[in-house]
Amino acid sequence: STVSWSSVSHFLLSVTSPPLVAQFSSFFFFLMIRRPPRSTLSSSSAASDVYKRQLLIRSGVAFKWCRTCHIYRPPRTKHCPVCDNCVDRFDHHCPWVGTCIGRRNYRYFFGFICVTLINSIFVLVTSIVLLLETDGFNHQWPWIMSATISALAVPLVGSLVLYHIYLVATNKTTNEDLNKVYEKEENPFTMGCYEDGCLLLCSRQRSSRLVPSSAPIQSW
């Protein structure tokens, strides 16, 4: 017997979308919102820390002094006034997830928006198919609502995904791109699309800079 589009769509919607996509979304969301522990110098040295040099140069790398966190900020690090924390490779503060996007959670943010885009496309296509297969407004209105919401989400999330694909390919952050940091000079961090993608999304995650450690400061 021929399997109708309605049966296939019902099967995909009930079996694939909720458990799989929801689990992936929850996984990326949980990893993304994990904040690195705030770490400053001890309170006894805080008073003298305010008067430290504004710029420290080690091995040709400049580290700026943060008067709030009382640490020397590595390159591409910025203090977020909302989180009240210095964020390594600061990309942006995302109000939708309530935390900053930086070096240690950028890959999870990227995965989260990609999964959200896939889910929106899936819901849109499935809703349209079910809408065409269903008769009567009483049975069609759920598919009309889901199709409308996903139709609005696809271009919005899709444009965000495309923008961050561009940022990954050029090894830029949102903060650097909006402020046109590399408009007049070449980006010293870019190594090519493939290398940048592997570094940002697939490389081994290093330990946080913001925890007390006896390890030497890494320049990159």
- For this structure, is 198 an active site residue? no
Helix, strand and coil content of the chain, in percent to the nearest 5, comes to: 50, 10, 40
Give the distance from CA 128 to its chain's centroid: 30
- Contact present, 89 and 77 (Cβ < 8 Å): yes
Measure Cα distances from 33 to 30, 81, 96, 104, 184 in Å: 6, 17, 10, 10, 34
Spot the catalytic one: 80, 94, 114, 198.
94
Give the residues across from 99 on adjacent strands: 94
Nearest C-alpha neighbor of 103 from the set 213, 206, 175? 206
Residue 12: strand, helix, or coil: helix
Cα(68)–Cα(212) distance, integer angstroms: 17
Give the distance from CA 173 to its chain's centroid: 10
Q: Which of the residues are catalytic?
A: 94
